[in-house]
Structure 1
Amino acid sequence: MEEKLLLREVPPSSLPRERLIMQGEKSLSDQELLAICLRTGQHPIHVMALAAAVLERFGNLYTLKSATMEELTEIKGIGKVRAIEIRALIELGSRIQRATQPKVGKVRASFDLAQQLINELKDYQQEHFLCFYLNTKNEIIQKITLFVGSLNQSIAHPREVFHGAVRYHAASILIAHNHPSGDATPSHQDILFTQRLSQCGELMGIELLDHIITGQNTYTSLREEGILKKK
């Protein structure tokens, strides 16, 4: 009788997708997570019953991890397509487990990074504001062009800069932008913005290592100039 219960009669709080939205994925059972991945059952088998059958057949997730296509298709309601999806899901989970954080370089000195940025930004006719997010070894784990246009605090707000720092679990950040005029001298606005970012970083425990401004074959490091003090 319970298996014939119409989906519209099931309380939303009992449906796996709705429970995930309301309570988070960690609150779901193995059966519920598998049911979400299976999406639908095969009439008259409800998707939750199908997920339960898969888990019962293999006993636990460790054994399911090694399930073959042939073993999966032996389960009523699991055809070839479903078996392919399950195998793909298992492999994706395995790759995620083995995944490491990618690195896109390492900052050894402001001078070295500045030389790269001079070549990268020299032909731009607008200011490009870049953020480098680093780990504890000063390896660059993410590089983002945060915006294009004139640097001002209403556009390059600290929350935008540190949003990435939190997202990528950065230990420190380094920012850079170009002056299309070719003069790398920091403006009053550049200095104020750098100091504001540094203060925000202190509160969050994420150090601002430097602010590099590039021009035509030249650069200014606010750290090297003593404008940005070493913490």
Structure 2
Amino acid sequence: MKSLTSLYKHDKPREKLVNKGVSALDDKELMALILGSGARGKDVLKLSRDIIKLFKADFENIDYEKLMNLHGIGDATSCKILASIELSRRYLIKQNNKIKTANDAYQEVKSYANKQQEYFLTLTLDGASHLIEKRVVFIGTLNRTLIHPREIFADAISDRAASIILAHNHPCGTLSSSLADEMITDKIAGVGRMVGIEVKDHLIITKEGYFSFKEKGLI
């Protein structure tokens, strides 16, 4: 069984990464770094080639069972590979998820439209309007005394967000803003101006769609 440490120094993926950068490694070398060692009768690069071959054949449907069917792959290795894939997928989704319109924001929160209680959410965005994080801030009947800007902007500041979008559902199905909704929005937007984080929009969502404060000229 050949591990990374038994490879000639100039052939080691780790050394190549340090000296030339991660982009210089081919797919099997990247996989070899994740694996660390091979299995009995199969060195790490051979095992890496087998895994990459499986990736090329059906990457979208890679799962625990498919990996475990490969000779030399055990439970710990399968879990490590799947965790690496999932972590990369999550961050790629975030990087590619740009919120440019009210409808873009609605797509992120529409799953809350059918909730029987009111959910108040925030989307934090970077300077290029990429989604950083989606959070549920409050569950229950909206009230100005219960929604505190401190909770909203503490997360936004922690995220180093440039702007935020507010959203909440109307279980009653009314697709318009109430006076309370408008007062809460004004209060939060005012704090946003003080701390330098723009409140770009506030969406009210129901099963029928969304109401955008920005599109209606209310923010």
Same fold (TM over 0.5): yes
Counterpart of 2:24 in structure 1 is none
Counterpart of 2:101 in structure 1 is 109
Superimposed CA distance per residue, residues 57-103 of structure 1 (whole angstroms, 9 cap, x where no aligned partner): xxxxxxxxxxxxxxxxxxxxxxxxxxxxxxxxxxxxxxxxxx9x946
CA drift at 1:115: 4.3
Aligned residue for 1:195, secondary structure, equals helix
Aligned residues: 128
Write the mapping of 1:65-80 to structure 2, written as runs, cut at 5 A.
Answer: none
Pairing 1:183–2:148 present: no
Counterpart of 1:151 in structure 2 is 142
Superimposed CA distance per residue, residues 14-56 of structure 1 (whole angstroms, 9 cap, x where no aligned partner): xxxxxxxxxxxxxxxxxxxxxxxxxxxxxxxxxxxxxxxxxxx
Aligned residue for 1:129, secondary structure, equals strand
Superimposed CA distance per residue, residues 176-226 of structure 1 (whole angstroms, 9 cap, x where no aligned partner): 000001112111000001011111111111000000001121211001100
Write the mapping of 1:9-48 to structure 2, written as runs, cut at 5 A.
Answer: none
5+ long unaligned stretches in structure 1: 1-98
- Contact 2:167/2:202 (8 A) holds in 1: yes
CA drift at 1:112: 2.8
Aligned residue for 1:133, secondary structure, equals strand
Counterpart of 1:223 in structure 2 is 214
Task: Measure the CA separation in 2 of the matches of 1:113 and 1:126.
Answer: 20
* RMSD across aligned positions (CA): 1.9
Aligned partner of 2:114: which letter?
A: D
Write the mapping of 1:185-204 to structure 2, written as runs, cut at 5 A.
Answer: 185-204=176-195
What TM-score do you get using the length of structure 1 for normalisation? 0.52
Runs of 4 or more above 6 Å deviation: none
Equivalent of 1:163 in 113, 138, 154:
154
Counterpart of 2:4 in structure 1 is none
In percent, how many aligned pairs have the same letter? 35
- Contact 1:132/1:140 (8 A) holds in 2: yes
Task: Measure the CA separation in 1 of the matches of 2:153 and 2:113.
Answer: 26
